[in-house]
């Protein structure tokens, strides 16, 4: 999986565990965040473009949360819980997670916020912060974002974070990438 290329987990955790932006606190999820996760991931509005639909129950969200926490333990990075400063109220989740996609190690860029905060640029703020940290601390892995064609707000977010639309990587998703080099990319330069 490429773990040998990663800086030590503790070093990454010290950087990624809690990050403050101008308006947000991005922190490692906690085992007690299941209810907040279900409130967002179980909401039909936040899953309009998700073919699997919303989480059907709290247990499903808690299982995803356990998976996220295991990822944090293994890699020292992962999806954050998003809050306002001096608040414990979670307004979203997002960040970067190591995945293998197309047989390559990548960092998947993800963001999902409660509808009450949509349109305020929080997803862009999170995405820009995550991409900046990834390029500085994990430059060996490309950052990939995948979204559905109709999800216009989600399409703008990776663009604003510096990712480029890659039609050559499109499948059932619109794909954006930063740091992805395809064999065709080399041929264009020759």
> pLDDT, tens digit, for every residue of 64-113?
999 999 999 999 999 999 999 999 999 999 999 999 999 999 999 999 99
> pLDDT, tens digit, for every residue of 4-38?
555 689 999 999 999 999 999 999 999 999 999 99
- In the numeric block, the tokens 């998003």 are attached to 82
Provide the token pair at 69. 């926490």
> pLDDT, tens digit, for every residue of 130-171?
999 999 999 999 999 999 988 988 999 999 999 999 999 987
Task: Give the Cβ contact number of residue 156 at 10 Å.
Answer: 14
Where does residue 146 fall: left (phi above 0), alpha (psi -120 to 50 degrees), or beta otherwise? beta
Q: Which domains does the chain have, with CATH numbers?
A: 3-180 (3.40.630.30)
**What contacts 45, CB < 8 A, 6 or more positions away?**
115
The DSSP secondary structure of the chain, one letter per residue, reads: --GGGSPPHHHHHHHHSEEE-SS-EEE---GGGHHHHHHHHT-GGGGTT-TT-S-SSHHHHHHHHHHHHHHHHHHS--EEEEE-TT---EEEEEEEEEEEETTEEEEEEEEEE-GGGTTSSHHHHHHHHHHHHHHHH-TTS-EEEEE-TT-HHHHHHHHHTT-EE-GGG-SSSEEEEES---HHHHHHH-
pTM, full prediction: 0.91
**Res 172: pLDDT:** 81
């Amino acid at each position: 999986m490429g773990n040998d290329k990663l800086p030590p987990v503790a070093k990454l955790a010290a950087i990624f565990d809690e990050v403050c932006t101008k308006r947000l606190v991005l922190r490692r999820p906690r085992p007690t965040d299941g209810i907040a996760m279900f409130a967002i991931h179980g909401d039909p509005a936040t899953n309009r473009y998700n073919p699997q639909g919303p989480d059907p129950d709290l247990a499903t969200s808690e299982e995803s949360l356990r998976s996220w926490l295991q990822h944090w333990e293994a890699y020292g990075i992962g999806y954050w819980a998003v809050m306002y400063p001096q608040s414990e109220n979670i307004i979203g989740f997002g960040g970067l997670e190591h995945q293998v996609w197309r047989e390559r190690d990548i960092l998947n860029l993800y963001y999902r916020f409660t509808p009450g905060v949509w349109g305020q640029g929080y997803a862009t703020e999170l995405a820009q912060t995550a991409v900046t940290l990834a390029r500085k601390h994990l430059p060996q892995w490309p950052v990939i974002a995948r979204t559905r064609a109709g999800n216009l707000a989600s399409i703008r977010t990776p663009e604003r974070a510096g990712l480029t639309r890659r039609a050559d990587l499109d499948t059932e998703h619109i794909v954006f990438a930063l740091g992805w080099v395809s064999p065709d990319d080399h041929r264009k330069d020759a």
